[in-house]
Amino acid sequence: EKSGYDHYMLKEIHEQPRALRQTISGRIDTDDGTADIDVDLPSEYVDSIEEIQIVACGTSNYAGRYAAELLESIVDVRATVEVASEYEFDGGRDPWRTLVVAVTQSGETADTLSAIRRAKRAGARTLAVTNTLGSTVVRETDDSVFIRAGPEIGVAATKTFASQVATLTLLAVRIGRARGSLSYGRARELLESVRRLPNAVQGVLDREDRVREVAREYADSDAFFFVGRKLGHPVALEGALKLKEISYDHAEGFPAGELKHGPLALVTEETPVLALLTDGSRPDETLNNVKEVEARGAPVIGATTADGDGRATDSAYLDVELPVPATGALEPLVANVYWQLFAYHVADEKGRPIDRPRNLAKSVTVE
Instruction: Let me know: does 146 contact 163? Beta carbons within 8 Å.
Output: no
Instruction: Let me know: does 59 contact 152? Beta carbons within 8 Å.
Output: no
Could you confirm whether 350 is annotated as catalytic? no
Does 163 help bind ligand M6R (rule: CB under 6 A)?
no
Cβ-based nearer residue to ligand M6R, 149 or 322: 149
User: Nearest distance from residue 260's CB to ligand M6R, in Å?
Assistant: 29
Cβ-based nearer residue to ligand M6R, 163 or 193: 163
DSSP secondary structure string for all residues of 2-59 = -TT-SSHHHHHHHTHHHHHHHHHTTTEETTTTEE-------HHHHHH--EEEEEE-HH
Residue selected from 24, 54, 57, 68 as contacting ligand M6R according to rule CB under 6 A? 57
| Separation of alpha carbons 280 and 59, rounded Å | 19
Judge residue 153's burial from the number of C-beta atoms within 10 Å of its C-beta, 0-12 exposed, 13-18 middle, 19 or more buried. Answer: middle
Could you give the C-alpha distances from 65 to 60, 158, 221, in angstroms and in order? 9, 16, 29
| Separation of alpha carbons 185 and 40, rounded Å | 25
Element (H, E) at 301: strand 300-305
Per-residue string for binding with ligand M6R, 82-111, x by CB under 6 A? Answer: ----------------------xxx--x--
Does 245 help bind ligand M6R (rule: CB under 6 A)?
yes
Cβ-based nearer residue to ligand M6R, 306 or 360: 360
| Separation of alpha carbons 262 and 356, rounded Å | 33
Torsion angle (degrees, nearest 10) of CA 145, 150, 248, 291: -70
Q: Which residue is nearest to ligand M6R (CB)?
A: 58
From 20-28, 75-83, 223-231, 357-365, give the range in contact with ligand M6R by CB under 6 A.
357-365
Cβ-based nearer residue to ligand M6R, 53 or 106: 106
Per-residue string for binding with ligand M6R, 118-157, x by CB under 6 A? Answer: -------------------------------------xxx
Q: Rule CB under 6 A: which of 58-87 touch ligand M6R?
A: 58-60
Report how many residues bind ligand M6R under the rule CB under 6 A: 16
Residue positions annotated with a catalytic role: 362
Contacting positions for ligand M6R (CB under 6 A): 57-60, 104-106, 109, 112, 155-157, 245, 360, 363-364
